[in-house]
Structure 1
Amino acid sequence: MDDQLDRRTKRTRQALQSALVALILEKGYDSVTVIDVAQRADYNRGTFYNHYLGKEELLSEIREDFLKGFEKALLAPYKGMQKVQATQTYPSILQLFEHVEGHKDVFQALIAVDKGLVYEMNSVMRESMRRDMHIEMEKTEPPIDYEIMLSYQMSATVGVIMYWAETNFKYSASYMAEQLIALVRARIDHITFKRQP
């Protein structure tokens, strides 16, 4: 009986989440009311309030779920492994892009409401990198500061994801993962000026 209730609760919440996302993309978050969300999900307002205090709490849950999936994607391919070579990080990069691709409506709705999501994605990855793994760098002169390197790597990843969203996801997740890996490994040869400074 409890399992049946849990499944029904989960179904209801998913319907309400999908409704809010669709409405944000159609008319913007500020124009959406609780009644709009309930009607789109084919429920009444009372059902909505049985699950959420308001649309802010619903949006917060959508955001939290998206970020949890983003963090999980980073580590999932390496379960049970002690270490991985830098040349073998494609699986986690691919899973990050696949997570965004699989939730692109959610991602676009969240970005439309809160530009701070970009910062949160960056923070989630950086915290996971600090807590769950350590990157061993080749020796350089001058030495590379670890925190600056983490910031650079995470900002590059989120920046490429944002570019992908701006193109309306015109490339596949695998293509984007390949491009990011190539960018991270590439060294700039030189710069040619198109016009004189």
Structure 2
Amino acid sequence: MDRRIKKTRQLIMDTFIDLLSEKEFEKITINDIAQRADINRGTVYLHYMDKYDLLDKCIEKYIELLLNHCANSTDTNLDPSAIQSVFEYLEENFTIYKLLLNNEGVGFFRSRLYVIIAQTVTEAMGGKSENNKFSNGITTHFLTSGFIGVLEWWINNSIPCSVQEVTTQLLTLLEPYTRHLISH
């Protein structure tokens, strides 16, 4: 991709994020983005179909950055270092992830994150539950909901405890499940 195209897309996305920190997603217009970025409205439309497409691409980018960070720092998807890595990355990039969790109004970021974590848990389970009393679907969604809930609480409360503390407590709570999942 041409450097100018990358630069323009980044300018539009950065401007969008700045606006998102000032007002609700629904109140942001393409005109707002173009004026703030000091570009023509048509330039925004040249790169993004509409503000929903821009939001979608923004979410994809920041989920990809989170996943890439975790993939580069761990060997397996659900080992303790992977969970700690998620919280370390979120702490380093707190502002943008709090913004994405809280201000896009319709829950796109949370929904995408939920799907990715649920896929990770499902893959780690390897298709079989160690205990036949538990449904894989129920187990997957219980673990995913718990993890997302803790993550949201931690971000929404402006990191009320250290990465080490949240990781340790989460791993203690998930220990019966993660022991089984890690062994696969």
TM-score by length of 1: 0.70
Using the aligned pairs only, state the percent identity. 24
Q: Is the 8 A contact 1:73 1:92 kept in 2?
A: no
**Matched residue, 1:9:** 5
Alignment of 1:118 onto 2:110 = yes
Alignment CA distance shift 1:154-1:61 (3 Å): same
Counterpart of 2:20 (choices 3, 24, 28) is 24
Alignment CA distance shift 1:185-1:26 (3 Å): same
Alignment CA distance shift 1:127-1:139 (3 Å): closer
Counterpart of 1:161 (choices 151, 154, 159) is 151
Counterparts of 1:35 and 1:172, CA distance in 2? 41
Alignment CA distance shift 1:99-1:13 (3 Å): farther
Deviation, 1:136, is: 9.9
Counterparts of 1:150 and 1:98, CA distance in 2? 24
Counterpart of 2:97 (choices 107, 123, 142) is 107
Q: Deviations over 1:92-128 (max 9, x none)?
A: 1122223433443333333322225333322211113
Amino acid at match of 2:91: E
Q: Is the 8 A contact 2:98 2:156 kept in 1?
A: no
Q: Which has the higher helix share?
A: 2
**Matched residue, 1:62:** 58
Structure with the greater alpha carbon radius of gyration: 1
Q: Is the 8 A contact 2:127 2:136 kept in 1?
A: no
How many residues align structurally? Answer: 174
Alignment CA distance shift 1:95-1:34 (3 Å): same
Counterparts of 1:55 and 1:137, CA distance in 2? 41
5+ residue gaps, structure 2: 177-184
5+ residue gaps, structure 1: 187-197
Deviation, 1:60, is: 0.8
Counterparts of 1:173 and 1:37, CA distance in 2? 35
Q: CA RMSD in A?
A: 3.1
Counterparts of 1:72 and 1:138, CA distance in 2? 28
Amino acid at match of 1:100: L
TM-score by length of 2: 0.75
Counterparts of 1:38 and 1:20, CA distance in 2? 9
